[in-house]
């Protein structure tokens, strides 16, 4: 009799614990179901830059490089061609049906190829200046693209 009473108490505790755990899961499920911020939303300001047409990106790229490196007309034309080619390749990567990690690796490789192509266009002196002022150049290009996005030009 005592053993049976003990079994009933244990079963009641298990049932209560299960109900409490189920209630906790039920209440927490909306919080757990929310996607991580980076999964669906782009970083602030990033969506603006992605909406900038490739030809505007190219012109901003050339204008900033010209300010820092004093490009020749031939170099400007070569950079324009390289930028157009890599913009097409970038679009192809965005349309690829592969997982996110693979897409990121493909984009990284594309950026490295693009940098190498730009390096081949520049003189040794220009490339040395480019490396020295790379962060400032990249910042200036981003600012021009942001300004373009804000103005809608």
- Tens-digit pLDDT profile for the chain (153 aa)? 667 777 888 888 888 888 777 777 777 766 655 555 544 444 445 555 667 888 889 999 999 999 999 999 999 999 999 999 999 998 888 888 888 899 899 999 999 999 999 999 999 999 999 999 999 999 999 998 888 777 665
pLDDT of residue 8: 82
| Model confidence, pTM | 0.64
Backbone region of residue 24 per phi and psi (left: phi > 0; alpha: psi in -120 to 50; beta: other values): alpha
Cα separation, 83 vs 51, in Å, equals: 16
CB atoms within 10 A of CB 116: 10
Collect all residues with Cβ–Cβ distance below 8 Å to 66 and sequence separation of at least 6.
Answer: 76
DSSP letter for each residue of 5-50: HHHHHHHHHHHHHHHHHHHHHHHHHHHHHSPPHHHHSPPTTHHHHH
């Amino acid at each position: 009799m005592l053993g049976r009473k003990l079994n009933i108490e244990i079963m009641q505790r298990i049932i209560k614990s299960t109900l409490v755990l189920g209630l906790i899961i039920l209440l927490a499920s909306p919080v757990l179901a929310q996607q991580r911020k980076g999964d669906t939303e782009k970083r602030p300001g990033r969506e603006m830059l992605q909406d900038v047409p490739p030809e505007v990106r190219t012109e901003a790229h050339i204008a900033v490089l010209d300010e820092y490196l004093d490009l020749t007309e031939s170099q400007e034309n070569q950079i324009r061609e390289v930028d157009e080619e890599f913009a097409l390749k970038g679009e192809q990567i965005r349309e690829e049906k592969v997982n996110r990690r693979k897409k990121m690796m493909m984009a990284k490789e594309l950026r490295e190829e693009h940098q190498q192509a730009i390096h081949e266009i520049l003189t040794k002196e220009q490339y040395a200046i480019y490396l020295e002022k790379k962060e400032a150049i990249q910042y200036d290009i981003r600012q021009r693209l942001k300004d373009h996005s804000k103005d809608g030009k």
